[in-house]
A and B are shown apart, each in its own frame.
Chain A
């Protein structure tokens, strides 16, 4: 039953990503059409617009959430693909540990980045 658990969360994460990453795409890559959350004009990915979004708590929280679910979904997917290659149990264990470390490491890096950027953006607004 163990795999069913991970797989159920994999699918649930997929649905969450559909909305959050979809929104991310609408803002960043369809910004010329949607003009969402880019009030300072120009490209949606400009430094000014990035700082605007980083300054809002909503974005910091959703960035961290999207990061967590996307890392789980992506790395579990990679694990699934690798595990279908009939590997030795020792290799399978090693892969799980490596992916867990990579996932947690990037989660830590991204969370720090989001929070620090939020602080900088807020300081910039005030200062």
Chain B
């Protein structure tokens, strides 16, 4: 590893290329680039595009590991290109391919539409039994820190698709919902404000739902945000079994605070100033 950030080392990028208008299947093209300490794979791809081959295509946006656009297979591991320093994973050769278990649109660009459609089918938003309440809210929901902690970890998902690429079930079963949609469903099931568990169970308990997970755990190992989808799916399975056996504990309805003046303020909080309008 170069000690000084000015010295460079040549690294061979073996990149999977595919142009649907010309190629029948992907092929590997190799580029050698000078790599400084601290350069991420995304920096490397930019170098190639700017200096060696302008036709290279990939997705990226934030370049800081929060948008989830640049998920790709680096030396066989699905991860974010912006979050991975080249010299941490390669000394001479680096293989870059698009995320597997998706269709490839072009070069390193996977078609994530199937993942998003599966996600949408599980209604990944707060569903209340009383629809009017959502459209015309009369107050805010109260959620204690303990209640928040029950689902917070699973809300950090950035929808990068790395877990879907790592899952062994998705390698063969195109209809399996996958770690991301299932952990998104569980994030809402665990949310005290949500009443949609019954509806989601119909999907998550179906033939290609949570029971197709066999706890290989790869999704949690590769997740760049520590969401731990494997844990969410096991919680989901437990809830499905309890619901099937009618042993599920009744969900406490979420407390509501109806507008200012109705909640009891703490003793040393001064009153609000008089309205001026």
Residues of A in contact with B (beta carbons under 8 Å apart): 1-8, 80, 83-86
Partner of A2, one of B169, B173, B205: B205
- Interface hits, B165-212 → A, CB 8 Å: 169, 172-176, 201-202, 205-207, 209-212
Residues of B in contact with A (beta carbons under 8 Å apart): 169, 172-176, 201-202, 205-207, 209-212, 240-241, 243-245
Q: Are A1 and B205 in contact (CB under 8 A)?
A: yes
Q: Are B212 and A84 in contact (CB under 8 A)?
A: yes
Complex: A2 Cα to B209 Cα, angstroms: 10
| Interface pairs A-B: 10 shortest CB-CB | A4-B205, A7-B211, A1-B205, A84-B173, A4-B240, A86-B174, A3-B207, A3-B211, A4-B244, A8-B241
> Nearest residue in A to B239 (C-beta to C-beta)?
A4
Q: Are A86 and B173 in contact (CB under 8 A)?
A: yes
Given A84-B176, A86-B175: A1 in contact with B201 (beta carbons within 8 A):
yes
- Give the residues in chain A near B244, CB-CB below 8 Å: 1, 4-5, 8
- Give 29 pairs: A residue, B residue, CB < 8 Å, sorted on A: A1-B201, A1-B202, A1-B205, A1-B243, A1-B244, A2-B205, A3-B205, A3-B206, A3-B207, A3-B209, A4-B201, A4-B211, A4-B240, A4-B243, A4-B244, A6-B211, A7-B211, A8-B241, A8-B244, A80-B211, A83-B173, A84-B172, A84-B176, A84-B212, A85-B172, A85-B173, A86-B172, A86-B173, A86-B175
B201 CB to closest chain A CB, in angstroms? 6
Complex: A86 Cα to B243 Cα, angstroms: 28
Q: Are A1 and B206 in contact (CB under 8 A)?
A: yes
- Specify the main secondary structure of chain B where it touches its partner: helix
- Give the residues in chain A near B243, CB-CB below 8 Å: 1, 4
A4-B244, A86-B172 given; 15 more Cβ-contact pairs under 8 Å = A1-B201, A1-B243, A2-B205, A3-B211, A4-B205, A4-B241, A4-B243, A5-B244, A8-B241, A80-B211, A80-B212, A85-B172, A85-B173, A86-B173, A86-B174
Complex: A84 Cα to B170 Cα, angstroms: 8
- Give the residues in chain B near A8, CB-CB below 8 Å: 241, 244-245
- Give the residues in chain B near A80, CB-CB below 8 Å: 211-212
- Give the residues in chain A near B175, CB-CB below 8 Å: 86
> Nearest residue in B to A10 (C-beta to C-beta)?
B211
Given A1-B201, A1-B202: A83 in contact with B207 (beta carbons within 8 A):
yes
- Give the residues in chain B near A1, CB-CB below 8 Å: 201-202, 205-206, 240, 243-244
> Nearest residue in A to B244 (C-beta to C-beta)?
A4
